[in-house]
Amino acid sequence: MKDIIFDPPTKFDFKCADYVPFKDRELCEKLRLMSGTELEKREAWHHPEFNIKVMMNPHPVLIATLFSRLKAASEAGKKFTMILGNPEPDTYIPLAQLINYFQVDCRNLHIFAMDEWADDMGRIAPETYEAGFAHSMLKYFVYQIDPKLRMPLENVHYPTTENIGYYSKMITEVGEGGADICSSSPGWTGHMAFIDPVPEFFPQATGEAGIEEWLNMEARLVKLHPLTVAQNSLHGVFGQSGYIQAVPPCAATIGPVDVKNARERIEVHALMTNGTFSSWQRMTSRLVLHGPVTPEVPSSMLQLMKTQVLVSDELAAPFECWEKVGY
């Protein structure tokens, strides 16, 4: 019997699993090779104000951006409307502390949770659900603000079973055309909020007409993509242990139109698995920033809009097959 030759290694071609939303492996391989400041480069189709910045730690910049915008509006006596991602205690608590320290009056601040869990019957989780997004926003942001500075609870908005049918209209009306700022971070599927690559968000038209149809879709209930369920089982509210049975199967979410109508957008790509190098977001980030604009990678819509994307050095790091690491 001949010796087995391992060097050079051979390739093994196959088709992606059916549930993988974006299947162009040739393009993915090209994007995988991008790292560091290469990720900051512009593509020909990018919006003139779509900007990418790689930095050591994006979160202080995110918090400073949200704070500076709401503080300026408060000092000018203007209404300010934010769409916020959840659950983000690491963002919410410092933001509330800055509001308290600098005594910023938030009476004219309106906040919208971008999504919320739902069960298989379409019933949306209440604000008392410990893994809920409204729960996190209320407990770690709203109720951390000094009562004399805090916005009225009527200014705190989140999806409910009763309002999901007109949630996008609420954002448009309160924000007088749209939110002042929308803050987000992409999921494993490339989702924005829970705008997943699922039938509820696939347009009927194709080509440019299909993109236009998709970008005008409003808030709705969705059945979550399997990768979204798996991803969330690795997050803190579900114990970071792959407990997929604990993750609700459905969700309520804003629609692409709410992202499009926002006057400013900021997105952070920095999620690691409990502080390790491992991250499901590393490949997703490359697709979101430099792949095609497609409902198969929902956050790619940002390439067409005024957006500041902040990418951590760790997430921008190169990666390859590390066979000695194993599982």
Amino acid 87: pLDDT: 82
- Does residue 322 have a pLDDT over 90? no
Task: Note whether residue 14 is domain-resident.
Answer: no
Task: Note whether residue 219 is domain-resident.
Answer: yes
Amino acid 233: pLDDT: 95
Report the number of distinct structural domains present in the chain: 1
Task: Note whether residue 321 is domain-resident.
Answer: no
Residue with tokens 């242990």: 241
Res. 166 pLDDT band, cuts 50 70 90? very high
DSSP string, 148-209: TTPPPGGGEE---TTTGGGHHHHHHHHTTSS-SEEEE---TT--BTTB-SSGGG--SS-HHH
**Beta-ladder partners of 208:** none
Give the residue-averaged pLDDT of 176-200: 98
Interacting residues of 35 by C-beta distance below 8 A, sequence separation 6+: 316, 317, 318
Amino acid 253: pLDDT: 98
Average pLDDT of the residues of the chain? 96
Amino acid at the residue 45 = W
Q: Strands 181-184 and 50-55, how do they pair?
A: unpaired
Task: Note whether residue 29 is domain-resident.
Answer: no
Task: Note whether residue 7 is domain-resident.
Answer: no
Angle at 18 between CA 257 and CA 225, to 5 degrees: 40
Task: Note whether residue 117 is domain-resident.
Answer: yes
Domain that holds residue 99: 46-312
Task: Note whether residue 3 is domain-resident.
Answer: no
pTM here is 0.96
Amino acid 159: pLDDT: 98
Give the residue-averaged pLDDT of 243-264: 98
Count of beta carbons in the 10 Å neighbourhood of residue 204: 8
In angstroms, how far is CA 202 from the centroid of its own chain? Answer: 18
Amino acid 35: pLDDT: 87
Task: Give per-residue pLDDT as tens, 211-249.
Answer: 999 999 999 999 999 999 999 999 999 999 999 999 999
CATH number assigned to the domain comprising residue 293: 3.40.50.1360
Give the C-alpha separation, 135 to 139, whole Å: 6
Task: Give per-residue pLDDT as tens, 131-155.
Answer: 999 999 999 999 999 999 999 999 9
Task: Note whether residue 232 is domain-resident.
Answer: yes
Interacting residues of 244 by C-beta distance below 8 A, sequence separation 6+: 229, 230, 233
